[in-house]
């Protein structure tokens, strides 16, 4: 039986490399986002999150703290680990980490294919669909 994932805030270069590997597999590999768009100027100012199972990186995200908002970004779970609740666990961990840092307002740019997932977790769609990395997205927000 497979172990359950553990999530943590990235604390070391090794953790950060693992988070980038997950993002590379999902965004650059699967979704064909260019490296230039995937890794941006906000990396150094973000809180990075890593999810692992027995040392194997399976999920990643980052949080940027923007005024009163915690913006969740780069939420990714490797394909072979999807549909097991790990995306929900990653999202809960990210929200809890932002709350621990004093935030109660959250926003994200959801890929339209994932809108229902975020809505299930209390996010509400706002505004029109827009393109980001040639993928349709919509702003979603949540308070509390």
CA angle 27, 139, 70 (to 5 degrees): 85
Residue 82's pLDDT is what?
95
| Domain layout of the chain by residue ranges | 6-104
- Number of neighbouring beta carbons within 10 Å of residue 45: 10
- Output the tens digit of pLDDT for each of the chain's 144 residues: 778 999 999 999 999 999 999 999 999 999 999 999 999 999 999 999 999 999 999 999 999 999 999 999 999 999 999 999 999 999 999 999 999 999 999 999 999 999 999 999 999 999 999 999 999 999 999 998
Give the separation between CA 72 and CA 65, rounded to whole angstroms: 9
Q: What is the pLDDT of residue 2?
A: 72
pLDDT of residue 91: 98
The pLDDT value given to residue 104 = 96
Class of the 6-104 domain?
alpha beta
Q: What is the pLDDT of residue 144?
A: 84
The C-alpha atoms of residue 21 and residue 101 are separated, in whole angstroms, by 26
- Angle CA(123)–CA(126)–CA(129) in degrees, nearest 5? 115
- Token match 């929200």: residue? 95
Q: Which residue has the tokens 């993002």?
A: 23
Give the residue from 103, 100, 49, 40 showing the smallest Cα distance to 71.
103
């Amino acid at each position: 039986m497979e172990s359950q994932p553990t999530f943590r805030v990235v604390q070391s270069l090794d953790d950060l490399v693992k988070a980038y590997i997950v993002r590379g597999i999902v965004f650059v590999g699967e979704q064909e986002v260019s490296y230039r768009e995937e890794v941006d100027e906000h990396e150094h100012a973000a809180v990075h999150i890593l999810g692992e199972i027995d040392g194997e990186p399976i999920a990643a995200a980052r949080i940027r703290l923007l005024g009163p908002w915690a913006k969740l970004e780069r939420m990714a779970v490797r394909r072979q680990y999807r549909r097991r609740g790990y995306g929900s666990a990653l999202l809960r961990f990210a929200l809890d980490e932002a709350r621990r840092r004093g935030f109660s307002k959250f926003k994200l740019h959801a890929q339209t294919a994932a809108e229902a997932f975020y809505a299930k977790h209390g996010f509400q769609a706002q505004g029109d669909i827009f393109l980001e990395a040639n993928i349709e997205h919509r702003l979603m927000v949540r308070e509390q």
